[in-house]
Structure 1
Amino acid sequence: MPLTALVKVAGSTWRVEETSQSGKGLAGQDEHQLRRYTSWSRWVTLAMLAYAFLAVVRADEGARHVPDDLIPLTCSEIARLFITLIAQRVHDTAHRLRWSHWRRRHQARSRASHYRRQAAAPT
C-alpha cells in the first residue's frame, strides 16, 4: 500500500471517531442504560436523529455568510440555542440571541489571537 492511501484511511478513521464523540456529547448517545436491545436501538436511533438535525442545521448555517467578527454556528451552540429557546424558556429570545452573538464574537477574537501567536512563534 502506498503511504498516501494509509494516511487517507487514518484520516477518515479519525473523522469517524470525532463524529462519534460529538454524537455522544451533544445528543446523549451514551446515556442509555442497556436493559433490552429494543430500547437501546430506539435510544440510539433517536440520538442519531438529534445529532443529524444538529449537523444539517450546522451545514445550512455554514453555507450562509458569517461576519468576520463571528465564528460560524457550531453544533454545540445550535444545541444550546435550541434548548434555551425552545425547550426551557428562562430568558426572552432577544437575551439568548445577544448572548450567543457575544460568545461567538469572543470565540472569533480568541481564535484570531491564537492564530497570530502561532504565526509569530519561531519554528
Structure 2
Amino acid sequence: MTGLDEHQVRRWTSWHRWATLAMLAHAFLCTAATERRDRPAPDGLIPMTGNEIQHLFAALIRPAHDLAHRLRWSHWRRRHQARARRCHYRHQAAVQP
C-alpha cells in the first residue's frame, strides 16, 4: 500500500512518517497539475497531468540523461498521448450510431 518493506512498518512512527510524506507528494503533484490545467497546452500535446509531472520529477533524480533529453522525452510522450487520444475519439465517434 505505501511501498514499505516489512521491517519498515514495525513501528507506528516509521509508517506514519512515510504515509505523511507520500500524501504530501501526492498533494503536490495534484496541485502542480491543477495549476497547469488553466494554461492551454501547446498544439498537438495533451496538458501536463499529475502522472507526467511525477515522471518528470522521477527522471530528474536519475543521473543517466541530461535535462534536454528528459524534456524531449516528455514532449514525445505527451505528443504520443495526444495522438492516441485523437485516434480513440475518432474511433469512438465512428462506432457510435
Q: TM-score, normalised by structure 2?
A: 0.87
TM-fit CA distance, 1:68 = 3.2
Map of 2:64 onto structure 1: 90
TM-fit CA distance, 1:61 = 1.2
TM-fit CA distance, 1:67 = 1.9
Runs ≥4 residues deviating over 2 A: none
Q: 1:122 to 1:55 in 2, by over 3 A?
A: closer
Gapped regions of structure 2 (runs ≥ 5): none
Map of 2:89 onto structure 1: 115
CA contact (8 A) 2:2 2:18 kept: no
Task: Give the share of equivalent positions with the same residue, in percent.
Answer: 56
CA distance in 2, matches of 1:114, 1:68: 18
Q: TM-score, normalised by structure 1?
A: 0.70
CA distance in 1, matches of 2:72, 2:96: 38
CA distance in 2, matches of 1:93, 1:58: 20
Over the aligned positions, Cα root-mean-square deviation in angstroms equals: 1.4
Equivalent residue letter for 1:77: E
**Which has the bigger relative contact order, CA under 8 A and spacing at least 6?**
2
CA distance in 2, matches of 1:117, 1:62: 26
Number of equivalenced pairs: 94
